[in-house]
Amino acid sequence: MKNALLLVYMILFGFMNFAYAKEEIEIFNRANKLYMDQKYEEASREYEKLISNQKVSAEVYFNLGNSYYKTGNIAGAILNYERAKRLRPSDPDIAYNLRLANLNTIDKIEPVPQLFYERWWDDFVNNGSVTKRAIWALLLFWGALILGIVYLFSKVVVIRKITFFLTLLVTLSALFTLYLTFQQHQHLNDNRAAIIFEESAYAKSSPDEKSSNLFLLHAGTRIEVLDELQGWRKIRIANGNEGWVVSDAIEII
């Protein structure tokens, strides 16, 4: 009886998942059609439905960014291009549209120059997907295990020597791949990067409305969040300058 009930629950759960997936595909297709029909605000609302249901992907964020760009919501466009870029960092279309959107921002902040090896390492870590790297790490660990078994049970000296070094090499490769997977996962879940959403927001010298203004920021500018205190967030902009802005003025990427 318990097995029969479990089977019924599994069937119902699978049917519900299928129904939800079908509904999400319908929403995505409807949003795409609205975009093609140049009904950008309506398309934005449909894409937002998917995001509110935690059904996100690079395609959803990218298309939502395009819809916001068409309606003149540059901050919204940049936010969603940045989110799409996190999921697919090497996509040239996302990178191009993000650059295009940034050209429409008011603040033109020269970033602190990044050393070439830091830039190379960031590109290397964030290239590809976390899932694929995790699968490769698992496969490499299995390969190392098989080679280790061959090494232990083989009686041929040459084979034992070869499998020993191969086991060591594959194990190190698996550990390195696992490390890259962890680093990329950390990057994807980093909640420090944000976008200014207010038309204009002063960065203050302290988390107090009466404190002195340090510099003025405008919608669409990317910032880094360093700290948070009672409705204020300490931020750093691309040139290294720091200040405090009200939490409501920004949106975390």
What confidence tens digit (pLDDT) does each residue in 93-152 have? 999 999 999 999 998 887 767 677 777 887 787 777 778 888 999 999 999 999 999 999
Quote the pLDDT of residue 190.
72
What is the C-alpha separation between 142 and 140, in angstroms, rounded?
A: 5
Residue 83 is encoded by which pair of tokens?
A: 């989110």
Q: Which residue ranges make up each domain of the chain?
A: 2-102, 118-188, 193-252
Domain 193-252 has CATH 2.30.30.40: yes
Domain 2-102 has CATH 1.10.3470.10: no
Strand order in the sheet with 250-252: 213-218, 200-204, 242-246, 232-236, 222-229, 193-196, 250-252
Name the pLDDT band for 90 (thresholds 50, 70, 90). confident
Phi, psi of 137 (to 5 degrees): -60, -45
Q: Could you please report the per-residue DSSP string of 188-226?
A: HT---EEEE-SSEEEEESSSSTTSPEEEEEETT-EEEEE
Task: Decide whether 2-102 matches 193-252 in CATH topology.
Answer: no
How buried is residue 98: exposed, middle or buried, by Cβ count under 10 Å (0-12/13-18/19+)? buried
Quote the pLDDT of residue 6.
42
CA–chain centroid gap for 219, Å, is: 21
Q: With residue 243 as reference, give the H or E element that holds it.
A: strand 242-246
pTM for the model: 0.71
Q: Burial code of 156-177, b = ≥16 C-beta within 10 A, e = fewer?
A: eeeeeeebbebbeebbebbeeb
